[in-house]
Amino acid sequence: MQPALVAKYGEARLPRYTSYPTAPRFSPAIDADTYGGWLAATPPEKPASLYLHIPFCRSMCWYCGCHTTITQRDQPIFDYLDMLREEVHLVSAKTRAPLSINHVHFGGGTPTIMQPKEFLALITLLREHFEFANTAEIAVEIDPRTLEPEMATALGEAGVCRASLGVQSFDPVVQKAINRIQSEEQTMDAVTRLRKAGVDSINFDLIYGLPHQTVESCIATAEAAIRMGPERFAVFGYAHVPSFKKHQKLIDEKALADAEGRVAQAEAIAATLVAAGYRRVGLDHFARPDDGLAIAQARGQLHRNFQGYTTDACETLIGLGASAIGRTRDGYVQNEVPPGVYAQRIASGRLATVKGYRLTPEDRLRASIIERLMCDFGVDVPALAAAHGFDPQMLLRGNAKLAMLESDGILENADGVIRLREGGRFLIRAAAAAFDAYIEQSGRTHSKAA
Ligand code: SF4
């Protein structure tokens, strides 16, 4: 990408658009009662997904942007799981009939911090309270440093088919600078255990833009990771927001690459993965050609949700646990973030909703345009506007951001049929922001565009 464009757009702080509107628009006007009504109105026969958040880790990685708590003790985890089970009862009691479940995702934190028997019991409880499809996909985020053989076996027994492993960088200098020491052997051992247990699909998360990272170390990490044979990669840029994540102050800002350096690192990782046969999927995912994600993209059926790119087309996502975000056809809801406050709410017999957002018809149209842009790098605005009953000129006429992206050669716009040009791929978030009605109001809480 041209350095002038990187300089112009790369420093802008933009959402990753895992939802639209984005989380800063959520308001306390949406509370537990609102969510209870939305759950009651959710058609049980339509497929839904579950997300369960396990907000505990054994040590803090300094780049971490997740909602998590560090603990060496097991009791807080046991207590939290009591509340999580209680929330399953509360939520499922609000729906007219057990919801049909297609996808389940355990995120964190470190979900595998649970004991194997607790994990198996939790899956059993979910199966009792929801109607799991035979083909339901169960995915779990994994910290390879702490995955015990017994837990890998339990994941296989529970029917987990997808595991997402945090790798980030194999460079020892980078690992020291982010307080996450993880050898290649530890990562490979985790892969071997998971495969032996029957977990068929492995995803690696890599990060660029970490302190002391270079193009060379990014390539070396990608090459080592490829040798371990994962089906998918997700490659994220480190988001340095120490004003929101205090532990990021431990990261040496002087050792961070500038916008141009970050783009060079991202492009080097992408080129290494593509040369090894992985297909680019959306902005930051890569998958083997026969993987479901690559196939969905080729068919124009890729979707985007809070976990990133997905084949999951469900309109309803039930978020369980502290900080979990969910969605129904009416809008978004988020649970209380601090585990203690979440626990108090659940213990009092109420849903833990702390804020949310009620979608308007215009939000739905803008959300569908942004999702197609993020997934396909192009969108037919007039076609989507017609499908939603709107005049496309409402979005196109006088759209200064769109005009600027077009005149900078980042995208083509033929009467509202928009396509990113090849070199503009990293600026897809800037293109999406051209259709975001709230972007000016959402403040600087997002990461840089490049
Ligand atoms: S293991 Fe993941 S969630 Fe836990 S501190 Fe590290 S990056 Fe954050």
Q: Which domain holds residue 109?
A: 22-320
Residue 135 DSSP one-character state: E
Let me know if residue 268 belongs to a domain.
Answer: yes
The per-residue pLDDT for 230 is 98
The per-residue pLDDT for 372 is 97
Task: Check whether residue 298 and residue 368 sit in a common domain.
Answer: no
71: Cβ below 6 Å to ligand 1? no
61 is in an annotated binding site: yes
Last residue of some domain: 289, 320, 351?
320
If one compares 306 and 178, the residue with the highest pLDDT of the two is 178
**Ligand 1 center to residue 166 CA distance, Å?**
8
Q: pLDDT digit string (tens) for 316-345?
A: 999 999 999 999 999 999 999 999 999 999
Q: pLDDT digit string (tens) for 1-35?
A: 666 776 677 656 788 999 999 999 999 999 999 99
375 is in an annotated binding site: no
HSE, CB side, 13 Å, CA atoms: give it for residue 270. 16
Q: What is the helix (H) or strand (E) element at residue 195, kind and residue range?
A: helix 184-196
What is the residue with the minimal CA distance to atom 7 of ligand 1?
64
109: Cβ below 6 Å to ligand 1? yes
Let me know if residue 273 belongs to a domain.
Answer: yes
* Residues 49 and 317 sit within 8 Å (Cβ to Cβ): yes
**402 alpha-carbon distance from chain centroid:** 26
Task: Check whether residue 251 and residue 386 sit in a common domain.
Answer: no
Task: Check whether residue 7 and residue 32 sit in a common domain.
Answer: no
**Among the ranges given (273-282, 386-395, 431-440), the one the predictor scored with the smallest mean pLDDT:** 431-440
Let me know if residue 212 belongs to a domain.
Answer: yes
Task: Check whether residue 75 and residue 158 sit in a common domain.
Answer: yes
Residue 446, pLDDT > 80, answer no
CATH of the domain at 223: 3.80.30.20
Q: What is the helix (H) or strand (E) element at residue 32, kind and residue range?
A: helix 32-40
Task: Check whether residue 203 and residue 250 sit in a common domain.
Answer: yes
What is the residue with the minimal CA distance to atom 2 of ligand 1?
109
pTM assigned to the model: 0.93
Task: Check whether residue 288 and residue 407 sit in a common domain.
Answer: no
- Write the burial class of residue 112 (CB in 10 Å: 0-12 exposed, 13-18 middle, 19+ buried): buried
**214 alpha-carbon distance from chain centroid:** 25
Atom of ligand 1 nearest to the CA of 108: 3
Q: Can you tell me the distance from the alpha carbon of 83 to that of 74, in angstroms, rounded to the nearest whole number?
A: 15
Task: Check whether residue 198 and residue 145 sit in a common domain.
Answer: yes
Q: For a pLDDT cut of 70, what percent of the chain falls above it?
A: 96
57: Cβ below 6 Å to ligand 1? yes
If one compares 423 and 79, the residue with the highest pLDDT of the two is 79
Task: Check whether residue 6 and residue 112 sit in a common domain.
Answer: no
Last residue of some domain: 271, 299, 320?
320
The per-residue pLDDT for 444 is 47
Task: Check whether residue 2 and residue 35 sit in a common domain.
Answer: no
Instruction: Quickly tell me which residue has 């509202």 as its tokens.
Output: 416
Residue 191, pLDDT > 90, answer yes
**437 alpha-carbon distance from chain centroid:** 22
Q: Mean pLDDT, to the nearest integer, of 52-72?
A: 95
Let me know if residue 337 belongs to a domain.
Answer: no
Task: Check whether residue 213 and residue 130 sit in a common domain.
Answer: yes
The per-residue pLDDT for 413 is 96
Let me know if residue 333 belongs to a domain.
Answer: no
**Ligand 1 center to residue 295 CA distance, Å?**
30
Total residues found in the chain within this entry: 450
Q: Which of the four pLDDT bands, split at 50, 70 and 90, describes residue 315?
A: very high
Task: Check whether residue 261 and residue 382 sit in a common domain.
Answer: no
CATH of the domain at 386: 1.10.10.920
Let me know if residue 345 belongs to a domain.
Answer: no
Q: Mean pLDDT, to the nearest integer, of 288-306?
A: 95
**Ligand 1 center to residue 385 CA distance, Å?**
40
Domain count, the chain: 2
**Ligand 1 center to residue 57 CA distance, Å?**
6
339: Cβ below 6 Å to ligand 1? no
Q: Give strand pairing partners of 232.
A: 203, 287
Let me know if residue 8 belongs to a domain.
Answer: yes
Task: Check whether residue 31 and residue 83 sit in a common domain.
Answer: yes
Q: At residue 294, what is the residue type?
A: A
Strands 162-168 and 201-208: parallel
Q: Can you tell me the distance from the alpha carbon of 93 to that of 81, in angstroms, rounded to the nearest whole number?
A: 18
Let me know if residue 340 belongs to a domain.
Answer: no
Q: Give strand pairing partners of 316.
A: 48
HSE, CB side, 13 Å, CA atoms: give it for residue 421. 14
Last residue of some domain: 268, 294, 320?
320
330: Cβ below 6 Å to ligand 1? no
Q: What is the mean pLDDT of the chain?
A: 94
